[in-house]
Amino acid sequence: MNDSAPNSPKAFLRRAAEALDKSPLKDMQRNARALAQSAAGRLDLVSRDEFDALQAVLAAASARIAQLEAQVAALEAQAAPHTDSPASP
């Protein structure tokens, strides 16, 4: 069977693909994609890599804050017995 014949399946598929590329639906898809990209460009978005990096920084900062809060609580507990004694006249 000759694939270059006008009635061959490959020729039909090629013509169908060409027709779809030129169809109004294809134009609408391109326009919708461009509109979505334009809208996304105006938003304050970050990449997934940047989000993950900032999330790691936040987790480290939260852990450090918890550690410092524990140290402050321990220091306050040490200082508490000294401040509970009555003042000398």
pLDDT digits (tens, 9 = 90+) for 15-56: 888 877 777 877 888 888 899 888 878 888 888 999 999 999
For residue 8, what are the contacts with CB-CB under 8 A and spacing of at least 6? Answer: 1, 2
Query: Per the domain annotation, does 88 fall within a domain?
Result: no
Report the alpha-carbon angle 56-59-64, nearest 5.
Answer: 125
Q: Are residues 40 and 50 in the same domain?
A: no
Alpha helices in the chain (DSSP H): 9-21, 24-42, 48-84
Q: How many CB atoms lie within 10 A of CB 16?
A: 10
Q: In terms of pTM, does the model score above 0.85?
A: no
How far apart are alpha carbons 41 and 33 in whole angstroms? 12
How many structural domains is the chain composed of? 2
Query: Per the domain annotation, does 14 fall within a domain?
Result: yes
Mean pLDDT of 56-78: 97
Q: Are residues 38 and 61 in the same domain?
A: no
Q: Which domain holds residue 15?
A: 1-45
